[in-house]
A = this chain, B = another copy of it.
Amino acid sequence: MPTDHIEAQIAFLAEADRLKSVLRASRLIDGSRHENSAEHSWHVMLYAFVLAEHAPEGVRVDRVLRMLLLHDIVEIDAGDAPIHGKVDHAAMAAKEAAAADRLFGLLPPSQAAEFRALWDEFEAAETPDARYAKAIDRLQTPIANLASGGGTWAEYSVTLEQMDARVGTPITRGAPTLWDWLRPQIAAFFARTDS
């Protein structure tokens, strides 16, 4: 076994432990506390696997799981940018790229390049696998919000138009039948709470 390989891999895996302390804007469905990005990553992988039959033809779910496994690791350095918060997207992208350099750079070089390529593919959201991964990443929070009486929507004064733009657009690009199913429920919820 190449000992220098495993030492580098273990250093990366130990550093990854810190993703458990990155908090997201969203809460657990029971409202008890904010969700962290490590448990969120597990949950979106479960979503991607369970809902695979609703993915467009040609999506390879195993590649999607690998992307989602890695997709938030950059938040260890860059933090989480709430989808409904005010964010300077160019500054955030630069911070995340620097985080990817440092964090994936802990791995042996060939593995660092492989992980970086997967993460870049996810971020670019151009391949069917990356689009499905992005769609699933956007799907989890609205479903939790519907199950818990609104969640982050009230906190950030979100409108249905914002939901269509920020959530509907990426879900439609990656998993259109899931947005067809979800959108009427979100519209009904916003109609009730606006009245």
Chain A residues proximal to chain B, CB less than 8 Å = 1, 3, 5-6, 9-10, 12-14, 16-21, 28-30, 32, 35-36, 38-39, 41-43, 45-47, 49-51, 53-54, 62, 65-66, 69-70, 107, 111, 143-144, 147, 177-178, 180-181
Given contacts A46-B13, A47-B13, contact A30 B39 (CB under 8 A): no
Contacts of A39 in B (CB 8 A): 19-20, 36, 38-39, 42
Which of A16, A46, A62, A66 counts the most chain B CB atoms within 10 A? Answer: A46
> How far is the CB of A163 from the nearest CB of chain B, in Å?
18
Given contacts A28-B21, A36-B39, A38-B42, contact A50 B13 (CB under 8 A): yes
- Number of copies of this chain that the complex holds: 2
Contacts of A180 in B (CB 8 A): 1
> How far is the CB of A110 from the nearest CB of chain B, in Å?
10
Report Cα–Cα, A12/B46, bound state, in Å: 10
Q: Per a CB cutoff under 8 Å, which of B5, B20, B30, B51 touches A6? A: B51
Contacts of A47 in B (CB 8 A): 13
Q: Which residue of B lies closest to A72 (CB)?
A: B42
Contacts of A43 in B (CB 8 A): 13, 16-17, 20, 38
